[in-house]
Amino acid sequence: MPMTEPVVLAAAGAAVILDVSGPGLPRVLHWGADPGPLDEADLRALVAAAGGDVASAADGPLQPVGGMPLLPTQWDGWAGRPGVTGDRAGRWPYLRLARDGAVRVSADEVVAEGVDETAGVRVRAEIRLDPHGVLQVRHTLTNTGADEFSVAALRALLPLPDRATEVLDFTGRWGLERQPQRRPLGNGTHARESRRGRTGHDATPLLIAGTDGFGFAAGEAWAVHIGWSGGHEEYAERISGATAVLGGGELLEPGEVRLGPGETYATPTAYFAWSDQGLDGLSGRLHRMVRDRPSHPRSPRPLTLNVWEAVYFDHDLDRLTALADLAARVGVERFVLDDGWFPGRRDDTAGLGDWIVDPAVWPEGLHPLVDHVRARGMRFGLWFEPEMVNPDSDLARAHPEWILATEHRLPRPWRHQQVLDVARPEVADYLFTRIDALVTEYRLDYLKWDHNRDLLEAARDGVAGVHRQTAAVYRLLDRLREAHPGLEIESCASGGGRIDLGILARTDRVWTSDSNDALDRQQIQRWTGLLLPPELMGSHVGPSPAHTTGRSAGLAFRCATALFGHAGIEWDVSTCTEAELESLTEWATLYKRLRPVLHNGRPVHGDVDGVVTDDAAVFVYAQLDNPAELRPRRVRLPGLAADRRYEVTRCWGEEAAGATLTGRALATVGIQVPPLRPEQAIVFEVRPSH
């Protein structure tokens, strides 16, 4: 018997209400605040207010204003981007999905299937609300016909209310990722698309629609993230006479997904979050979801020293062991050897793909360095870039057919690299065998997995291959993790070029940006932190002046910035003065003391940026520009329990007085801080007063 009552999924103050009574896929009647208990009459009233079932063309408009099918098509009267589209040798571009079978409903999930018998297509729609109020939407399409069906798009879409009048997203470039841009949401389509073959430095971690003037702590906001590392799209669309939508999916090239009879295509998961507490409410939900993943790192995030900006390609055992000695002295817990350890790698023009230790530079292998590092009580990590190859390499000379290209039409070179076709089983086997051998021989604790170019003209035999490549890289990572359960992997893509929940299902942190300029990092980390909690964002103290920008900043400011992430050092510490080494040691000790708060709390923003737990908090007040007036001011500390009394102490940065006040007083009256000049900061530790 078909279900007639609407279905309500509710959790953590959020809800989605689905009308499952019609002949097609369920319609979304509401997505946002949990309306509370609804009886049968209430639910029927919601359906009636939304316009009832989808009407036929003879009876009236096809698309009721208030109800959005999970996969809207032109048959539903939808004139926007269709939820699903494809063709069978140019035929059947318009699908009519009639529901097939009963809608399956559980406490947190709705699953429905639709079929177009004539076009030979079956679609399964899944929508799940997790305990933190984050919706996860995923679709699959099966070719039930007798010949090939080409999938053009299969999107996850949810409706937006009329009060969502603004849209916020992010752009950027190498060394300056996650830069915000905001505009009105009027009629038309605001789309962010990536055809880079990786997430992209200019990709938006979230596409956010909100009420007028929404900010960190106030206003309603609706957001979407596509958990996929290949081509992808996120967009908000408002069309005259129809419901506005927010959504996206994998961005497929023509002919990229062609299904034979019985074959199935599954979308990446689309993550949707709603908040009535502004951006902090969104990130709070998303952080709790991310931290709940079985693969989320549970152990304290080790203080890391990466040697890239210290030595670049100049690998020398004596120099590196001296760095390891200093690293151990200041409190580093993980030492990472970056690019330059394999044959011919004296610069970035040669050697990629030849994953053996260079006997000319390392005649005893890496063992002397690895043993020295471990004798100093540190873990050891190694840099790789498995998906790329230099034409000047033994691998490329032996297997030119392994390059992701069509015949002799090589893609335009970039960084002296081409892309390996990881979707070839022999290529994936080669990479696994080489990496597995090195992880085993040196008992590696950590891989820095880099990806330094976009995938241009990524095709094999003339067929676009980004989808195939992305899935193959995921399989390779999964295979390595299965073979080495304790191995941690960082997702680096010339900095922050591959940050998404697809790659993070297989990695333990991201390299947030190649820029260690602390001023730029303040903004990069703030906005990346909308999606990711601090413990997943690599954040290192770099030298002054910064190698990427040439800008100078004091050590206290650089340390304060790096504190709010998975902290580390990217600096030739052999050039440090004794005073600098002592400061780094003090900072390392502080990081280890504060990371239980920093890596478990919820984000708050306002006069300060902070992380708050039930028992403690850490806030940073940073001066990023040149103030018009140098005078003391009061800054408020949000997010604490209103009636609890707290002791606020300065623990890093410029000198400042502390205070003992209630959470309500700290959030409304605040504490006084001294005037700061550009690139100065104060870090406050907050603990309950006893």
User: Would the annotation count 339 as a binding residue?
Assistant: yes
Active-site option among 169, 421, 514, 517: 514
Give, in order, the Cα–Cα distances in Å from 131 to each of 156, 286, 411: 20, 11, 45
Name the residue among 562, 552, 546, 671 with its Cα closest to residue 606: 671
Q: Which residues lie below 8 Å from residue 497, measured CB to CB, with a gap of 6+? A: 174, 177, 196, 198, 199, 200, 201, 451
User: Would you call 537 helix, strand, or coil by DSSP?
Assistant: strand
SS (H, E, C) 646-663: EEEEEEEECCCCCEEEEH
Active-site option among 450, 500, 508, 520: 450
**Cα distance between residue 149 and residue 90, in whole Å:** 9
User: Would the annotation count 451 as a binding residue?
Assistant: yes
**Cα distance between residue 20 and residue 42, in whole Å:** 15
Whether residue 545 has a cis bond before it, omega within 30° of 0: yes
Q: Which residues lie below 8 Å from residue 360, measured CB to CB, with a gap of 6+? A: 343
User: Would you call 309 helix, strand, or coil by DSSP?
Assistant: helix
User: Would the annotation count 452 as a binding residue?
Assistant: yes
User: Would the annotation count 631 as a binding residue?
Assistant: no
User: Would the annotation count 174 as a binding residue?
Assistant: yes
Phi, psi (5° rounding) for residue 547?
Answer: -65, -30
DSSP codes, 435-449? HHHHHHHHT-SEEEE
User: Would the annotation count 651 as a binding residue?
Assistant: no
CB atoms within 10 A of CB 554: 16
Is residue 429 part of the annotated active site? The answer reads no
User: Would the annotation count 162 as a binding residue?
Assistant: no
Is residue 394 part of the annotated active site? The answer reads no
Cβ pair 256, 465 in contact under 8 A: yes
User: Would the annotation count 571 as a binding residue?
Assistant: no
Phi, psi (5° rounding) for residue 521?
Answer: -65, -30
User: Would the annotation count 559 as a binding residue?
Assistant: no
Identify the H or E element spanning 325: helix 317-330
User: Would the annotation count 415 as a binding residue?
Assistant: yes
User: Would the annotation count 448 as a binding residue?
Assistant: yes
**Which runs of E-coded beta strand occur in 188-333?**
188-194, 207-210, 221-226, 232-238, 244-250, 257-259, 264-266, 270-275, 304-306
Q: Which residues lie below 8 Å from residue 676, measured CB to CB, with a gap of 6+? A: 621, 622, 623, 627, 654, 682
Annotated binding site for substrate: 174, 338-339, 415, 448-452, 492, 514
Annotated binding site: 174, 338-339, 415, 448-452, 492, 514
The residues that are catalytic are 450, 514
